[in-house]
Structure formats: C-alpha cells, structure tokens
Amino acid sequence: MRHERELRRAGFRRIAGIDEVGRGSLAGPVVAAAVVLPDRHRIKGLRDSKVLSRARREALYELILDRAEGVGVGCMEVEVIDRINILQATKLAMRQALGHMSPVPDHLVIDALSLREVDLPQRPIIDGDAISASIAAASIVAKVTRDRICDEFDDRYPAYGFARNKGYGTRRHVEALINEGPCEWHRRSFAPLRLMLAGEQLSLEMLLDGVVLTDEQVDPGE
C-alpha cells in the first residue's frame, strides 16, 4: 500500500487500482477491473493474479467484493478488439470499469498504462500488480471474471481448450486452430489468424512463430 499511502497523505481518499486481463490472448475478450480498497484493508495475500492458484484467486475475489469500497468491471469483446486494436480496447475496458463505480474515485493507480481520456489524476506503475495492493486486487477481479467467461466458451467450443488455456497460445490451442480453423471467439486482427483467414497454408511452426507460447497448464495449482 506504499503508493496508496503516499496519495492519501497528499489528500486523496478514493484511490482506485486498475488492471486488465487477456491482452495477449488469441481469443476472447479483454477484461478490466477497478477496485478501491479501504485505507486499512484486511485482505491478506493480495498478489498478481497470475501467480495465485485458481482456488486462492476465487477466495480473494469473494473477499474483495465483500470488503472493497468500490468495484467496477469492463469487458471489450472480440469484435471491438478487431475494430479498434487491443491497446485501445484495453483502455476502453478500463474506462468502462471506472464508469461502473459509484462514487467516482479521486485518483487512479494503473498497471503500466495511463488513460488520457479520463479527467482524474493518475499514476501508471510498471509491474503494478506486483507492488500495489489496489492493482493486485483489480487483477484478481479481472482474471476471475474472464476465467469464468472462458469456462462458458469452453463448453461451446471444446476443441480449443479455452477452460485451460484461457485463449492464450498453447500448443494444443494452436494445433486446434490448424485442424478446426478459428471460431467466432478468435481475434481475427491478430497476425496468425489474419494469415490463416487470408488463405495462407501455415504449418504449426509457422503459426507458432511470433506467438507467445504459454504452458498448457496456465494456472498454477490446477
């Protein structure tokens, strides 16, 4: 809470941490969350959502919803990502998350980004989800929300393994793209999919070139 304490000493009272999940995925929405923690929050174990087991994230998610002074979530679907690009869709999801908060925060701490369109003082923090409790809380809310969406789409499109890979570029996911082609949930503006849809005959190695390949088991502890 070092950043939050500094800002409170400067006179700010409702400091919202903001983070997103799904920016580097090949499929699915980008989800952002904004969280205002109490000055003396009593939620132990807040960490970057990516280093927590799913069970621990789910437990912290419930605690955050119960104890936070404000929570907002924004979600930009694939159609928006393909139309305005992933960075702009991420910022739009963050603004939507802020729009779902009441009352409005008086200062923002954001993981690595700044929101020029938002008329609030803000502090972008590199690796913010690792060093700011408010941003870590936002990352947990965003990830649990997105994971649940991925579970629903796994039932609809089981070939791609969305429940496990969350839309990221695992080997199984890329192999399914070659065998099945993309589904409606894939981001067609992303390079591998754009090439496939242009009629390119791509091998697994060619598709993996430029894709950040993740482990098949994405979540620690699963």
Is the pLDDT at 206 greater than 80, yes or no? Answer: no
- Residue 222: predicted pLDDT: 44
- Residue 1: predicted pLDDT: 86
Total number of domains constituting the chain: 2
- Do the domain assignments include residue 214? no
Between these two residues, 77 and 201, which has the higher pLDDT value?
77
CA distance 99 to 103: 10
Q: What is the mean pLDDT of the chain?
A: 89
> Does 20 share its domain with 118?
yes
Crossing angle of the two packed helices 133-156 and 2-9, in degrees rounded to 10? 130
Provide the strand spans (E) within the chain: 15-21, 30-36, 70-76, 107-111, 122-125
Q: Please, how many CA atoms are within 13 Å of residue 165, restricted to the half-sphere of its CB?
A: 26
- Do the domain assignments include residue 218? no
> Does 83 share its domain with 182?
no
> Does 201 share its domain with 102?
no
> pLDDT tens-digit profile of 38-81?
987 778 889 899 899 999 999 999 999 999 999 999 999 999 99
- Residue 192: predicted pLDDT: 75
> Does 168 share its domain with 148?
no
Is the pLDDT at 214 greater than 60, yes or no? Answer: no
List the CATH number of the domain containing 77: 3.30.420.10
pLDDT band at 216 (very low <50, low <70, confident <90, very high): very low
pTM here is 0.90
**SS3 for 196?**
helix
> pLDDT tens-digit profile of 96-152?
999 999 989 999 999 999 999 999 999 999 999 999 999 999 999 999 999 999 999
CA distance 73 to 76: 10
Torsion of CA 101, 166, 200, 202, to 10 degrees: 150
- Which residues, including other chains, have CB under 8 Å from residue 131's CB and lie 6 or more apart? 2, 3, 125
> Does 174 share its domain with 145?
no
Can you give the residue range of the structural domain that contains 192?
156-208
> Does 59 share its domain with 111?
yes
